[in-house]
Each structure stands twice: as structure tokens, then as C-alpha cells.
Structure 1
Amino acid sequence: MFESVGWGEILVLIVAGLFILGPERLPEAAAWLGKGMRKVRDFASGARQQLRDEMGPEFDDFRKPLEDLRQLRNFDPRRAVTQHLFDGDPDPLGLNGTSGGSTKPNGYPVVQSNPLPEPLKPGEKPPVDPDAT
């Protein structure tokens, strides 16, 4: 429920509560909040159990689409399109033979760049392209 709330946010809430409520009312407010959260959790689990009892085995059929929606959190559109277009072929264009068989983690071949030209020797003039000047 509080997956995205970290310790920093909790600390800020405690300090804000301390300033707003004061040190004498803060423990009562925290106890009230804890009891309220416990009631909400009990209501939710009771409703889930009642629904499971009334629906019987169809409850699992009802939950399957919800589980499928939860799996969409890990959805990677690039991987899905690649698998759909190339049917999971790791080398759809046959480029592994041209790049020495090495691939990047994303599946694309490693392209060897041209080596850098040798540096100029002392006293040597750099080449000039008259069309570029």
C-alpha cells in the first residue's frame, strides 16, 4: 500500500505532525490513525473473504484478469514489439556473422568503428581539403 513512501517522507510527516498537533496530542493521533488503518484492513479482508465465499470457484476466474493487469507494470514495449515482429529470433537480420557474433545487451550487434588516424608527427602539416575551405 505504501510502496512509494520512503523513510524520508515518513520522517517529514512525523515532524509536521509534531508541529501541528504538539507533543501532547501526537501519540493519541498516531494511535487513532493506527486503529483506523487496522479497521480499513479488516473491512477489506472481510469483504474479500465474503466475496470468495459467495462466488466459490468463480472467484479465481474473476481474479485472473486483475493479475494480468498487475503484470503490465513490468511491460516493456520495445521487447514486446521485437518479439512480435521477429518471433523471438535473436538475429533477425543475420548480422551476427558480420559483427563477429557479439551483440549488445539490447540485442543489437556491436558495430566496430573505424580506427582513429595516426597522430601527426612533429613538424608535419595537417591535410587540407580545398573544397572545405
Structure 2
Amino acid sequence: MFGLSLEHLVILLAAALFILGPERLPGAVSQAVRAVRRVRGFAAEAQQQLEAELGPEFQQLRKPLQDLQALREFDPRAALRRHLLDDGPAPATAAPRTLRPGERAPIDSDAT
């Protein structure tokens, strides 16, 4: 929700409780909820109106945004697994062991 973590929401709630007081806080929260619903309704209505007026051209306008979203969700490891393992299940790999300060990595005699 708006990129806020749980800690930020708790801080905002505590600040609102301190500023507004326990009597006015429920009314302020309900007003905020109504405003968010109204804005969402306006956005959905605008999207429907654009789809109705532009028709298939609207999808052409949205395609670059959908491609950008796909790039944001791109996972190189999943792509490698998909292409190297032919969509097979991902292999179970153990987490690499961390070395202590001054410790050397073991030499793999099979690699030579």
C-alpha cells in the first residue's frame, strides 16, 4: 500500500492518534477510505472511457507499459532454469557456505 512498510503505518497511525485524538480518528479514517474509493472509481471510469473511445488502439498504448512491467519482474535465474532445464522443476540447491575470516575455500580436485 503506497510502498509503506508495517512500521511506517504504525508510526502514521500513532501520529494521527496523537494529532486527532481518539474521538476524531475514526471519522478521519472513514473519510480517507471514502476518498481512496472515490479516486479508484474515477481511475476505473477514465480507463473504461479510454477503452471505449480508443478501442484496439488503447491496447497498443498499454503494450509498452506491459513490456516494461515484464522487464521489472524478470528473474535471470528463472530464465536460465527455463531454458537450460526445458521448463523442468528448479533444482534444490543448498545455500553456499560462508567462510570465516582467514579461512580458505576448499580446492575441488574434480574440477582439474
Quickly name the TM-score band, shorter chain normalised.
Answer: 0.5 to 0.7
For 2:50 and 2:75, locate their aligned partners in 1 and report how far apart those are by CA, in whole Å: 34
> Which consecutive residues of structure 2, in runs of 5 or more, have no partner in the other structure?
85-92, 94-105
- Any idea what the Cα deviations from partners look like across 1:71-128, whole Å, max 9, x if unmatched? 2213468xx9xxxxxxx89xxxxxxxxxxxxxxx8xxxxx9447xxxxxxxxxxxxxx
2:49 corresponds in structure 1 to 50
Q: 1:31: Cα distance to partner?
A: 1.0
Which residue matches 1:23? 22
Mapped partners of 1:21, 1:29: distance in 2 = 8
Map of 1:37 onto structure 2: 36
The one-letter code sitting in structure 1 at the alignment partner of 2:23 is E
Rounded to whole Å, the distance in 2 between the matches of 1:112 and 1:53 is 66
Unmatched runs of 5 consecutive residues or more in structure 1: 81-87, 90-104, 106-110, 115-133
- Determine the C-alpha separation between the residues in 2 that align with 1:63 and 1:3: 22
Instruction: Indicate the percent of aligned positions where both proteins have the same amino acid.
Output: 46
RMSD: 2.9
TM-score (norm 1): 0.54
